[in-house]
């Protein structure tokens, strides 16, 4: 069976510090990978998606970047965090020919 893991689960970072959230998928190959952000009262916002190693598409301009160094690894980064980067970040995956998206448990980021 397939599993998705993301870490850390919670993170408190000062403004201006860097960020790295990591996500890995097990039990499948060549998945589509996604990063979403969930801000309070604003639903889920698609930040990045990837259909293969090194292939990243950004949905919105922002202070964040994503990378996919390996087939089943997806990393969300920032060089300098802003207060507005606070939120709940969700990694997700889907099969290339599948029709369902599966989510990790999420990472709470608080920028102080």
The contact set with other proteins (CB under 8 A) reads 32, 34, 36, 41-44, 46, 49, 51, 90, 92, 94-106, 108
How many other CB atoms are found less than 10 A from the CB of residue 5? 12
The nearest distance, CB 94 to other proteins, in angstroms, is 6
The nearest distance, CB 103 to other proteins, in angstroms, is 4
- Residue nearer to other proteins on the CB measure, 67 or 103: 103
The structure tokens 């293969």 sit at 52
The structure tokens 């969300």 sit at 76
Give CA–CA dist 69/43, Å, rounded: 28
- Residue nearer to other proteins on the CB measure, 13 or 102: 102
The nearest distance, CB 16 to other proteins, in angstroms, is 27
Give CA–CA dist 82/14, Å, rounded: 8
């Amino acid at each position: 069976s397939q599993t998705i893991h993301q870490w850390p689960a919670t993170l408190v970072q000062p403004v201006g510090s860097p960020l790295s959230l990591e996500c890995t998928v097990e039990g499948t190959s060549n998945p589509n990978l996604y990063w979403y952000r969930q801000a309070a009262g604003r639903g889920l916002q698609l930040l990045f998606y990837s259909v293969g190693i090194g292939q990243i598409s950004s949905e919105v301009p922002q202070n964040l970047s994503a990378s996919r160094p390996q087939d089943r690894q997806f990393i969300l980064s920032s060089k300098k965090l802003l207060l507005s980067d606070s939120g709940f970040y969700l990694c997700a995956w889907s099969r290339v020919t599948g029709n369902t998206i599966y989510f990790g448990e999420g990472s709470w980021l608080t920028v102080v």
